Amino acid sequence: MNRVESRAVLAGILLKRVREDRYPSATDMDLIEQILPPQLMPRYIEVLLDKVAQDHRPSISMIHRIDRISKSIP
């Protein structure tokens, strides 16, 4: 396994944790944003948008995170 593959595997593990946790760890999300390949960033944003949609009082920091990440996608 090379560096790119190992980072992709780690990103997948972290993304699964974020998807499954009701209130995902900011540390996990920060790590994902550092290592996730650009082509998978839209999938990550979908996971975060689902979190916001499911919460009656979504986290303002989560909303800001989604906005910041969305700006980085062409």
pLDDT score at 4 = 85
CB neighbours of 35 closer than 8 A, spacing ≥ 6? Answer: 7, 10, 11
pLDDT score at 37 = 84
- Residue ranges of the chain whose pLDDT lies below 50: none
pLDDT score at 39 = 83
pLDDT score at 54 = 93
pTM of the predicted structure, to 2 decimals = 0.87
pLDDT score at 28 = 93
